[in-house]
Amino acid sequence: MLKKSALFSLLALSLASSLIAESYVYVGASKADMMDEQSPTTFSIGYGFSKVFSNCVMAGFSTSYHQGDYEESSVSDSSWFNGIGVDFHLGYSPTKPLALYGITGYQMQAISSSTSAGGFGYGAGVSYKFFKHVALALEYRTYDMEVPSLDYKYDYDTVDALIRFVW
């Protein structure tokens, strides 16, 4: 029952957001800096929406799934991680195709098969709509991550290059 109500809520939110804002799906690649000075490349997919108001203020929301791997780990023998993130965007759109925005959000990660981490973060981004339904975005984020089971903290910094398909 909980899964059905969560799915219904997500569908209702998606429908409501698409009626009042511009929706998009995106794919991208990131260069990350995380624990033990690892710099993995991650790949991501996501969904979001944003609204530019008459005073050029832009507000938005996005959620993403990302996956990557790294060379070695002090946490486990495996060398992969994946995660989901939720971000809120607030910024300024001086012209219709250009948007400059700040980002705040929460990131959750599964590292190998038995370790998980989570943390809040912030960042900034810029997007430019080259065509009516295609935009490119460049975003930087930094998160203060914590692995509760190991009492371990690390910074997770990413630079993302994204292609957005807008409707």
Return the domain boundaries, the chain: 22-166
First to last CA, the chain: 31
Number of neighbours of residue 28 by Cβ within 10 angstroms = 21
- Distinct helix (H) and strand (E) counts, the chain: 1, 8
Number of neighbours of residue 149 by Cβ within 10 angstroms = 11
Instruction: Please state which CATH number belongs to domain 22-166.
Output: 2.40.160.20
Asked if residue 126 lies in contact with residue 137, where contact means CB atoms within 8 angstroms, the answer is: yes
Give 94-153 pLDDT, tens digit per residue: 998 999 999 999 999 987 777 889 999 999 999 999 999 999 999 999 999 998 888 889
Question: What are 120-128's contacts with CB under 8 Å, separation 24+?
Answer: 120/144, 121/156, 124/100, 125/89, 125/91, 125/100, 125/101, 126/98, 126/99, 126/100, 126/101, 127/98, 127/99, 127/101, 127/162, 127/164, 128/97, 128/98, 128/99
Highest mean pLDDT among 67-71, 87-91, 115-119, 148-152: 87-91
C-alpha distances out from residue 101 to 88, 94, 140, 144, Å:
10, 11, 11, 20
Give 125-142 pLDDT, tens digit per residue: 999 999 999 999 999 999
